[in-house]
Amino acid sequence: MAITRQLYQLQELDSEIESAEQSLAQKTARLGDRTSLDAAQSHLTAEQQQLDELRHRHRDAEAEVDDLLSKITAAEEQLYGGKITNPKELSSLQHEVTTMKARSDELENKALEIIDLVEAAEKGVAGATAAYREMEAAWQRQQVQLGDDIEQLKNTLADLRRRREQLAGQIDAAAVSLYERIRQQKGQAVAKVEQGICRACRISLSASALQKARSGQPVQCGTCGRILFIS
Ligand SMILES: [Zn+2]
């Protein structure tokens, strides 16, 4: 087989190896990466904290109401117990009871408002929990898939590298090292020739370059330096 054809095949194998290596690196980076899950978990934790805080505020408000109610009961016992007869004292006590009752009503309303907030927060927590569980299940499935893909890519790469080694061994050593040198410099070492034009740099080739290229011997493009391949 013409050397240039072999080099072109070598280049195709190298491209396949390169893209498999890139895929492998990308998938390996995603393996065990919990970034998206962590964000959902933080959201869930924040919702949970808000709910806890609201429940706490509700308990405080109710405790305050209970406290006031017992104070009101005690004051009313004094008020109607008959032990206090001084009108000024009675009037002052009556005023105190009225004030406490107003404050107690206010606190009860506040406690009811907090209950609404608690209910909304409970819904928020339930939603965030469901979203997190769904994401986690999807993440687990994705991780299993990634593991399988990585395993398969490793096998593919091993096979490609074996084939590459085998092919390189069949090609003239000087041609392989020329190929390697150009590949290192330019990324692409072999350029196809179509209608007398180097497809890498799109410059017309000289008649002598075309003649050499047709023979299948490695000849470099006079402009870009790549090895010319006429299929
Ligand atoms: Zn060229």
Q: For residue 3, is pLDDT > 90?
A: yes
- At residue 74, the pLDDT reads 95
pLDDT for 10-20, tens place per residue?
999 999 999 99
Tell whether 151 and 39 lie within a shared domain: yes
Mean pLDDT (the chain) is: 96
Same domain, yes or no, for 139 and 182?
Answer: no
How many Cα atoms within 13 Å fall on the side-chain side of residue 183? 16
* Domain stops at, among 155, 170, 185: 170
Q: What percent of the chain has pLDDT over 70?
A: 100
Q: How far is the CA of 193 from the centre of ligand 1 (A)?
A: 9
**Rounded-to-integer distance, Cα 104 and Cα 76, Å:** 15
CA of 169 to the centre of ligand 1 (A): 26
139, 170, 201 — which closes off a domain? 170
pLDDT band at 168 (very low <50, low <70, confident <90, very high): very high
CATH of the domain at 225: 1.10.287.1490
- Same domain flag for 46 and 138: yes
Q: Rounded to the nearest whole angstrom, what is the distance from the C-alpha of residue 21 to the centroid of ligand 1?
A: 27
Pick the closest to residue 123 from 42, 47, 41 (CA basis): 47
Contacts of 78 (CB under 8 A, 6+ apart): 84, 93
Q: Mark whether 55 and 72 lie in a shared domain.
A: yes
Q: In percent, how much of the chain has pLDDT > 90?
A: 96
Distance 182 CA to ligand 1 centre (A): 12
Ligand 1 centre from 228 Cα, in Å?
8
Q: Please give the distance, rounded to the nearest whole angstrom, from the Cα atom of residue 200 to the centre of ligand 1.
A: 5
**pLDDT score, position 82:** 87
Residues 105 and 141 occupy one common structural domain:
yes
Structural domain that includes position 67: 31-170
- Over residues 105-147, the pLDDT tens digits come to 999 999 999 999 999 999 999 999 999 999 999 999 999 999 9
Indicate if 2 and 83 belong to the same structural domain. Answer: no
Q: Global pTM?
A: 0.74
* pLDDT score of 28 more than 90: yes
Whether 136 and 199 share a structural domain: no
The string of pLDDT tens digits covering residues 63-114 is 999 999 999 999 999 999 988 889 999 999 999 999 999 999 999 999 999 9
Note the pLDDT of residue 189: 98
User: What is the Å distance from ligand 1's center to 221 Cα?
Assistant: 5
Which value, in Å, is the radius of gyration of the alpha carbons in the chain? 41
Give the model's pLDDT for residue 1.
Answer: 78
Question: Would you say residue 226 has pLDDT above 90?
Answer: yes
In a shared domain, residues 97 and 202:
no
pLDDT at 147: 98
Quick one: pLDDT band at residue 37, thresholds 50, 70, 90?
very high
Which two structure tokens, joined as six digits, stand for 26?
């990308």
- Residue 168 backbone dihedrals phi, psi, to 5 degrees: -60, -35
CA of 10 to the centre of ligand 1 (A): 19
Ligand 1 geometric centre to CA of 185 (Å): 14
Regarding whether 221 and 132 lie in a shared domain, the answer is no
Q: Is the Cα dihedral 131, 136, 141, 143 positive or negative?
A: positive
Pick the closest to residue 2 from 214, 221, 226, 227 (CA basis).
Answer: 214
The domain boundary, picked from 118, 137, 170, lies at: 170
Residue 138 Cα to ligand 1 midpoint, Å, equals 49
User: What is the pLDDT confidence band of residue 178, given thresholds at 50, 70 and 90?
Assistant: very high
CA of 23 to the centre of ligand 1 (A): 30
Count how many domains the chain has.
2
152 shares a domain with 52: yes
Mark whether 16 and 45 lie in a shared domain.
Answer: no
178 in the same domain as 166: no
Band the pLDDT of 231: cuts 50, 70, 90: confident
| Cα 176 to ligand 1 centre (Å) | 19
